[in-house]
Structure 1
Amino acid sequence: MSTLRPPRQDRAAATRARLIDAAYACLLEGGYSATTVGAVQQRAGVARGTLLHHFPTRATLMAAVVDDIADRRVRVLSSGTAGPPADGGWDGVVDLVWRDLQSPAFAAALELWVASRTDPELRAALAPVQQRVITAARHAIIAHVGDDDPRVPTLAQFTIDLLTGTAMSRVVDPDADVTVVVQRWKQTLATLSGGR
């Protein structure tokens, strides 16, 4: 009895996904500098030629990982956008944005942001993808608080920026208790938004 093999394009897509997952895992474990073609190849368990067939350069591999990370973050942010504005208001917004910033995908994105400072090719790949994540965050915020108040865009940007900076501060001090900052921002938003 013969076993039917999946079509070639399905196998190719599965291999490509395995390579991207391996690169993502390398980023999380060792950072950008440790995410070499060789490390990804070894982690994915494929031949070098297979990896190079899908991703001829490290830059093309990293561009695919950038897209994958954005997809992961957008899924987290989109989890709060189903249906009408949530009852959580601005507290729900803070919780949703903070959940994204605590995800492994954000940690991987942070690795890429730092590396992009001196890597113009990586920076060019990151810029439009980062915009996609910000757009998803704004849609999620509108799902929580609506868009009828002219303060919403400014408060949304403040929330994203303040919480991103707070999350980044934990890189230097992983034991920092940042919950007080998150709670104080919720209180501040209640005042700035007029109690909405």
Structure 2
Amino acid sequence: MLHHFATRAALMAQVVRHVFDNEMAEYEATRVRTGMGDNLFDWPSLLWSVLSRPPGMAVLEILQATRSDPELAELVVPMQEEVEQSALAVMRGAFGGDETLARTVMRLMVWSVRGLSIADRYLPHRAETEHAILLLGEMMRLAVPDGRMEKMRALMEAKADGKAKG
């Protein structure tokens, strides 16, 4: 396979791109098949159904490898940023919100799910991990019952105002 790619790092970067493209297609297929994903609070479970699979774990391992491989980091980190921007555009189109808030919410959900996928790999009690995913979704539902970002911004600003006064 290396004769198709200039370096091992180039191959790994393409793996990240390929997995992302497949994940985006899987999110859409799952949304169409189940109706899940039309609300922001659906996304922890939807993310779990995709990111906890072996390809999602492979991307995590590649991302972690960028810490000690500068060549890999040079190719993968910008690609991961591009992937995040693409996902952010989809999320904002579906749920509104300014870019900062949408990125914050997306990172909370994606990286919580990624972290739980690591825990699920190495710790027993898968049902408890899946309960954590459901809990994250319920927390999102409580924060934004209508599933839109605009309400979340108001909640965050009210909370920030309360801290400033207290």
Q: 1:107 aligns with which of 32, 51, 57?
A: 57
Q: Which residue of structure 2 lines up, in the alignment, with residue 141 of structure 1?
A: 91
SS at match of 2:105: helix
Q: Contact (CA 8 Å) 1:81, 1:139: kept in 2 or not?
A: no
Matched positions, count: 143
Shift of residue 181, structure 1, vs aligned partner: 0.6
Picking from 57, 60, 76, the partner of 2:7 is 57
Using the TM superposition, give the Cα deviation of residue 190 of structure 1 relative to its aligned residue in structure 2, in angstroms. Answer: 1.4
Identify unmatched segments of 5+ residues in structure 1: 1-18, 20-50
Distance 1:63 1:161 in 2: 19
Query: Relative to total residues, which structure has the larger helix share, 1 or 2?
Result: 2
Q: CA RMSD in A?
A: 3.2
TM-score (norm 2): 0.67
TM-score, with structure 1 as normaliser = 0.58
Residue 86 of structure 1: how far off its partner (Å): 7.1
Give, as a single letter, the amino acid of the residue that structure 2 aligns with 1:74: M
Structure 1 132/99 Cα, relative in aligned 2: closer, same or farther at 3 Å?
A: farther
- The answer (yes or no) to whether the contact 1:97–1:163 under 8 Å persists in 2 is yes
Distance of 2:116 and 2:68 partners within structure 1: 24
Ranges of 4+ aligned residues in structure 1 off by more than 6 Å:
none
1:97 touches 1:137 (CA, 8 Å); kept in 2? no
More contact order relative to length (CA 8 Å, sep ≥ 6):
2
Which residue is equivalent to 1:11? none
Q: Deviations over 1:96-143 (max 9, x none)?
A: 222221233211101212222111111111112212332343344345
Give structure 2 stretches of 5+ with no counterpart: 148-166
Paired residue for 1:120?
70
Identity %: 23
**1:185 equivalent in structure 2:** 136
